[in-house]
Amino acid sequence: MQSLFQMPQVEILNFRTFTSEYVAQRYDVTLKTIQAHKIEHADEIVEGIHFIVGKNDRNRPITKWTLRGIIKLGMFICSKEAKNFRLWAEMELEKTILGELESAKEARARNLTLADKVISLEAAAKLEAKRVAREISSYKSQLSHKDAFIAELTHKLESRDKKINELATRIVLFDDHTYNPAFKELESLKDDMTNMHYKLTQAIIGVKEKLIARKD
């Protein structure tokens, strides 16, 4: 008998499905015995759980046994080899289940980590949205103040334009320029400029006279 922990070369499908020839060899029975038990206990040996039916390289149907199927077959075969093979299948099945549980545990841990990241991102997004909302509110407030300031300046300019127009109208329509303050100021400037021009002219004449006298 082959050792319990030494597996011979065998065709394995998905590493957990075995050919009827391999199962018969490990049970130390003929292939017909395996086929007979499969037919006799068809109510307990269920396709999709204990075995699957595929196609070989000639496109003919071929039965592949799962670990559960090996264990189930071992219940109907009484021998030391069958006992050892069934024990091996049970150990392999346990390792498979433990591996699946570990994978599920790791997947759950990854999912929890991803969930935490999603929660953190959502929280960060909410904080960012609040910050942006505050900034927008601040900008709106600043724009509102600037709009009010611009409106105030516009009003002042319009008021000054109105006053300038009123003064211009008053100057144009004022009948007696003698009593018009604006014209009085202009007349005063005119008199000052005339006096300065007269003094400058007299100064130039005086300089010329002195130059002529020196020349003679």
Extended beta strands in 48-92, E state: 51-55, 61-66
pLDDT at 213: 56
Domain count, the chain: 2
The answer on pLDDT for 2 being more than 60 is: no
Residue 22 to residues 27, 42, 173: CA-CA distances in angstroms?
9, 20, 126
Question: Is residue 124 a part of any domain in this protein?
Answer: no
Q: Note the pLDDT tens digit of each residue in 60-101.
A: 898 999 999 999 998 999 888 888 999 999 998 888 888 888
What is the predicted pLDDT for the residue at 25? 92
How high does pLDDT run on average in the chain? 75
DSSP, res 47:
B
Strand segments, DSSP code E, in 2-130 are 12-13, 17-19, 51-55, 61-66
**Each residue of 190-213: b (16+ CB within 10 Å) or e?**
eeeeeeeeeeeeeeeeeeeeeeee
**Which of 66, 97, 128 lies at the terminal end of a domain, its last residue?**
97
Residue 90 lies in a domain: yes
Could you report the per-residue pLDDT of 160-178, keeping only the tens digit for each?
Answer: 556 556 655 655 555 555 4
Three-state secondary structure call for residue 19: strand
In the chain, at which residue ranges do the beta strands (DSSP E only) sit?
12-13, 17-19, 51-55, 61-66
Q: Quick one: angle between helices 20-27 and 31-40, nearest 10?
A: 100
> Is 124's pLDDT higher than 80?
yes
pLDDT exceeding 90 applies to what percent of the chain?
Answer: 25
pLDDT over 60 (residue 53): yes
Task: Retrieve residue 109's tokens.
Answer: 């841990």
| Predicted structure pTM score | 0.45
Q: Is 211 among the domain residues?
A: yes
pLDDT score at 56: 82
Say which CATH number the domain at 32 has: 1.10.1660
Domain range for 194 = 181-215
